[in-house]
Amino acid sequence: MARPRDTRVDEAILKAVRELLAAKGYSALTTDTVAAAAGVGKAAIYRRHATKQEMVFAAVVHGTDLSAPEEAGSLREDIAAIVDDIMATLGNPAAAQVIPGLLADMHAVPGLRERFTELFLDRQREIITAALDRALARGEISRLPDTAFVHALLTGPVFASLYVLPQRPERLAADLTETVYRAVMGTVLGPKPGPKQTANGAEVGLRAAPNIVENKETPGLQPGVSKLSYYSSSKVMQIELMQNRSSVGVS
């Protein structure tokens, strides 16, 4: 039977990473310096973190054991709790120091983006999926939206406000919560009322909103990408866009 991993070593490594980042910065941090500062061997680090980048992200943003916020009782409140967590993890000073370097490495190091998706982003999406599953069970929504899209809608504005825009919108958390809530409830992602039944009884219930699953009406967009996500990825997404869909052409 394998010996349980020593959590004291885990914390010593992460503590050393945070201290070295504060003292020397991201570019100067190496596995060797972390091992020396933590008083452990490099093998102990590699058993926990395959790369420097994973080790740094786990130390200053979140680890693979990211905890979900407590269930708040409604979809809106669950979304608000998730938004608060995202802002706290991305907005702390240590994260702000390393994220630009991490992004550069994710583009430069082969396979690193896939590793980050597997280790960190998938865990974030699991938390979102759990909140959406609860809303479905409570009857707040009639179907599950694309979790990856909701994840992008939650994290994109926070990231842009912290690292792209010249200043953070004043009501970012509240406005983003309402934006995503409306999207999931029907403004963009949810179902639209449809014919209850055709003459031969073939159509019953609701039909999906257009341009979310397929983009037959919008030239130049890839299948599975909505107009909203296209504009978001083009860095012109504004917090108010859900409140006035006509400003970005979402029909």
Q: Which two tokens stand for residue 28?
A: 């100067």
Of residues 209 and 152, the one with the higher pLDDT is: 152
Residues facing 141 on adjacent strands? none
CA contacts within 13 A on the Cβ side of 165: 17
173 contacts 87 by C-beta, under 8 angstroms: yes
Give the pLDDT band (50/70/90) at residue 218. very low
Distance (Å, rounded) from C-alpha 126 to C-alpha 241? 26
Give the single-character DSSP code of 238: -
**Predicted pLDDT at 3:** 57
Of residues 120 and 233, the one with the higher pLDDT is: 120
Distance (Å, rounded) from C-alpha 187 to C-alpha 212? 11
Give the pLDDT band (50/70/90) at residue 205. very low
Q: Which of 193, 186, 177 is nearest to 250 (CA)?
A: 186
Helix axes 31-38, 52-60, angle to 10 degrees: 50
Question: Mind listing the domains of the chain with CATH numbers?
Answer: 7-48 (1.10.10.60), 49-189+216-248 (1.10.357.10)
